[in-house]
């Protein structure tokens, strides 16, 4: 049995992966862990405390950053890495991140999640509007305090590009071509920067491939796991 730990994006929960979980190999046991500490170091510790001894880790956006940081911090526990829409670079504008946290804590929660929702998916695509609505629904469930803590961590992220060569486990970078938060070119570069990287992208897709195209996303993950012996019985 292969344990697959999935780390949701900012403000999201296990519903981000509800469409792909049933489509993964039968011998893959998937579960979601929400990381919600104010630093990535603390988020890594939070996930490691709940995770099994050995696992494949998958993360989207904020969760993808947690997955990368965890793989670098505890490589002996990670047998495979999937990053979806998460760049390894430093924060581009720390003040903007701090301001987002302030807005979340200061009564502008609905405005923030609506603004993010409007660019979270590829709205012209066939599943864009539903993905937008699903994101906003998850955010409302998680609430402003959790999102603000995650936002704090994002506002302090450092540059991981120089360390990516340390990642030796099989790694899949899965991107939507129309990702407005993390450009697809970063995913391609990321796949070339680790030792055993693969890049896959979905057309007419934004920041959340697992919601916008669950069958295609699950297929990419399934084939990658099989090719790397990560879903063997």
Burial of 112 (0-12, 13-18, 19+ CB in 10 A): buried
Per-residue pLDDT tens over the stretch 27-66: 999 999 999 999 999 999 999 999 999 999 999 999 999 9
Please report whether residue 184 resides in a domain. yes
Instruction: State which residues form the domain around 206.
Output: 2-89+158-227
- Has residue 232 got a pLDDT over 80? no
**Does the pLDDT value for residue 8 go beyond 90?**
yes
- Region 197-219 average pLDDT: 97
Residue at a domain's end among 114, 131, 151: 151
Q: What is the CATH number of the domain that holds 36?
A: 3.40.50.1820
Q: What's the total number of domains in the chain? A: 2
Q: How confident is the model at residue 233 (pLDDT cuts 50, 70, 90)?
A: low
CA 201 vs CA 42, 102, 159, 184, 206: distances in Å: 30, 34, 24, 8, 10
């Amino acid at each position: 049995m292969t344990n697959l730990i999935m780390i949701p994006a900012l403000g999201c929960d296990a519903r981000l992966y509800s469409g792909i979980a049933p489509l993964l190999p039968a011998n893959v046991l998937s579960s979601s862990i929400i990381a919600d500490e104010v630093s990535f170091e603390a988020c890594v510790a939070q996930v490691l405390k709940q995770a099994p001894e050995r696992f494949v880790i998958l993360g989207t956006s904020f969760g993808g950053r947690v997955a990368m940081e965890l793989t670098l911090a505890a490589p002996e526990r990670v047998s495979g890495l999937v990053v979806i829409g998460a760049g390894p670079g430093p924060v581009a504008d720390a003040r903007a991140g701090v301001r987002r946290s302030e807005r979340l804590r200061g009564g502008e929660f609905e405005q923030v999640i609506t603004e993010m929702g409007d660019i979270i998916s590829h709205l012209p695509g066939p599943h864009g509007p539903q993905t937008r609505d699903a994101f906003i629904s998850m955010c409302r469930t998680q609430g402003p305090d959790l999102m603000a803590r995650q936002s704090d961590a994002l506002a302090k992220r450092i540059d991981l590009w120089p360390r990516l060569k340390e990642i030796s486990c099989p790694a899949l970078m899965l991107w939507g071509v129309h990702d407005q938060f993390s450009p697809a070119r970063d995913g391609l570069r990321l796949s070339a920067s680790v030792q055993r990287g693969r890049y896959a992208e979905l057309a007419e897709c934004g920041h959340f491939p697992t919601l916008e195209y669950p069958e295609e996303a699950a297929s990419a993950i399934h084939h990658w796991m099989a090719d790397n012996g990560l879903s063997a019985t």
